[in-house]
Amino acid sequence: MIIQSVVIPKKKFTLKQSDKWIKDNGYKLTFYGKPVDLTVGFYRYRQVAPRRFNPKKYKTKVLKNGILLILGELKKKSK
């Protein structure tokens, strides 16, 4: 499984802090030139396009600091 998105809670991080965490941990700040997605409670940093994943093969890993890693299995390439 690979990381599709990194989701950071707004209750624990400011946008500046979340950008720093993303950079410090080697993730992408933008996705094809698009900035972070802002939702009601989270900053979502997309790493890979969702269409590349099997929609039935996702799971979420919660880090100790409350950050969520959305993991997925890539679709099988047809030959």
Band of pLDDT at residue 78, cut at 50, 70 and 90: low
Instruction: Give domain status of residue 45, yes or no.
Output: yes
Strands (E), the chain: 2-9, 37-38, 42-46, 53-62, 68-74
Nearest CA-CA partner of 12 in 61, 63, 67: 67
On average, the pLDDT of the chain sits at: 94
Band of pLDDT at residue 19, cut at 50, 70 and 90: very high
Instruction: Give domain status of residue 79, yes or no.
Output: no
Instruction: Give domain status of residue 64, yes or no.
Output: yes
The residue-averaged pLDDT of 5-31 equals 97
Instruction: Give domain status of residue 52, yes or no.
Output: yes
- Domain count along the chain: 1
